[in-house]
Chain A
Amino acid sequence: MNEDMLEIMIGKYLDGQITHSEQQVLEAELDNNFRAKEFLQQMQDLHQCSREVIASEVLDRGKNAEEIFEQAWQHRKYPLIRIIKIGGGLRLAAGIAAGLVIGLALHFTILTRSTTPNIQREPAVAAISPDNAPDKNGQNLPSPQNVIRNVDWYTFTDENGDQWLIKGLRENTVRTAAFQEAI
């Protein structure tokens, strides 16, 4: 048996992993080889000592498992503020998605502003003229944009006996109207 094989056999023997047939081979070798027997003795001492050393280092120190587990359980939640690290592909996708959202938001904002009807301010007082006055057939009705709703009309006779037609808006703004002889 060569040296490497002897070490493997002795190792298996020490670790309790040797098979019956392997043990027979090892015993035969030990009977015939004094150095092998001496080596086995040294390895047995080393094995025993190593077990004590490692047990002392690893098991005979520190807190018990339950205690450490309980502490870990308390810390199981992720911290509230956490730096999220994302890879290259994911970062690219996130960038594209963010760009898309911003683009859509801008698009709709601009669209909304450009299509908002230009509400022309109705002159507070419309010129009163036959053309402008509402007729019975409604043919000369102003366009919807120019309609002033909720208008109160008043008549007024001044010192000279002239009659005025006053158009009063609900906003409490009362302004003079144009004088018309015909009224």
Chain B
Amino acid sequence: MTGQEEQNESALVRAAQKGEKEAFRLLLTRNWTWLRALVYSVVANADSVDDVMQDICVQVIRKVNTLREPARFRPWMAVVARRQALRYNQRKRQRNVISLNNEEVAGQQRDYKAGQLLENLELKEQYHQILQAVKALPEIYRQVFVLAHLEDLTYAKTAEILDIPITTVQIRLVRARRMIFNRIIGKETNRVQGESI
């Protein structure tokens, strides 16, 4: 984020803390894409993203006053988003333990539906494989992978949002690619050396 953008966002945060609706709207809609990507990387289900996004909006509106440093709005919002997504997962697990098998089947059917954009059957299959591989990634790798592939975020911006060093972003991204690649070529493993990063 450039200095000018940072100043603008900080000013919006201060306006939001005074309760200005327009400031909230701008803050949320400007960060919408990566926020959706982050939520998707946690819930790993496209149909659940809207519900979580609404929860996040409500939480941001209610709790923006607790943010002491307006310049750290993005990492703060990322934490709020991840927390809401995890809560959603938890609620869903409690609610749908019995119907889990049916939902998995439905989820797979929806994944195929997304691939209908591609006419080529071979590509469609590849599309499905990639999607399953992304969903199978450990969450920390999936976060970085989804953010990087959704919005062309720079490593620096991804690092800022996730509040991690840039080198960690690079390493996680390389490992995520490797894991997806291995899964697609049939050398399935989600374990990489030095996975603690």
The answer to whether A59 and B36 have CB atoms under 8 Å apart is yes
The answer to whether A11 and B62 have CB atoms under 8 Å apart is no
Q: Which of B6-14, B20-28, B69-77, B93-101 contacts A (4 or more CB under 8 A)?
A: B20-28
A68 to B39, CA, bound (A): 14
The answer to whether A15 and B117 have CB atoms under 8 Å apart is no
The answer to whether B36 and A54 have CB atoms under 8 Å apart is no
A-B contact pairs, 10 of them (CB 8 A): A8-B170, A11-B170, A11-B173, A49-B123, A49-B127, A53-B130, A57-B114, A61-B47, A71-B54, A78-B62
Range, interface on chain B: 35 or more
The interface bits of chain A over 97-139 (1 if a CB of B lies within 8 angstroms of the residue's CB, else 0) are 0000000000000000000000000000000000000000000
Range, interface on chain A: 35 or more
The answer to whether B24 and A57 have CB atoms under 8 Å apart is no
The answer to whether B114 and A53 have CB atoms under 8 Å apart is yes
The answer to whether B54 and A72 have CB atoms under 8 Å apart is yes
Contact check: which of A58, A71, A75 meets B40 at CB < 8 Å?
A: A58
Residues of B close to A47: CB separation below 8 A: 149, 177
A131 to B148, CA, bound (A): 110
The answer to whether A50 and B58 have CB atoms under 8 Å apart is no
Whether, in the assembled complex, B161 has its beta carbon less than 8 Å from a beta carbon of chain A, the answer is no
The answer to whether A54 and B146 have CB atoms under 8 Å apart is yes
The answer to whether A61 and B131 have CB atoms under 8 Å apart is no
Q: List residues of B (31-61) whose CB comes within 8 Å of A's CBs.
A: 32-33, 36-37, 40, 46-47, 49-50, 53-54, 57-58, 61
Whether, in the assembled complex, A35 has its beta carbon less than 8 Å from a beta carbon of chain B, the answer is no
Residues of B close to A57: CB separation below 8 A: 40, 46, 114, 131
Residues of B close to A60: CB separation below 8 A: 114
Q: A7-B174, A69-B28 are in contact. Are A54 and B54 (CB under 8 A)?
A: no
Min distance, Cβ B156 to any Cβ of chain A, angstroms: 9
The answer to whether A69 and B46 have CB atoms under 8 Å apart is no
The answer to whether A58 and B131 have CB atoms under 8 Å apart is no
The dominant DSSP class at the B interface is helix
The answer to whether A66 and B150 have CB atoms under 8 Å apart is no
A62 to B149, CA, bound (A): 19
Min distance, Cβ B30 to any Cβ of chain A, angstroms: 9
Q: Which residue of A lies closest to B31 (CB)?
A: A65
A60 to B28, CA, bound (A): 18
The answer to whether B180 and A76 have CB atoms under 8 Å apart is no
| Shortest beta-carbon contacts, A-B, top 5 | A72-B57, A62-B50, A65-B32, A76-B61, A65-B29
The interface bits of chain B over 119-142 (1 if a CB of A lies within 8 angstroms of the residue's CB, else 0) are 000010011001100100000000
Q: A43-B177, A57-B131 are in contact. Are A50 and B145 (CB under 8 A)?
A: yes
Min distance, Cβ A2 to any Cβ of chain B, angstroms: 13
Min distance, Cβ A72 to any Cβ of chain B, angstroms: 3
The answer to whether A54 and B150 have CB atoms under 8 Å apart is yes
The answer to whether A61 and B57 have CB atoms under 8 Å apart is no
Whether, in the assembled complex, A73 has its beta carbon less than 8 Å from a beta carbon of chain B, the answer is yes
Chain B CB within 10 Å — which of A16, A53, A56, A61 has the most? A53
Whether, in the assembled complex, B79 has its beta carbon less than 8 Å from a beta carbon of chain A, the answer is no
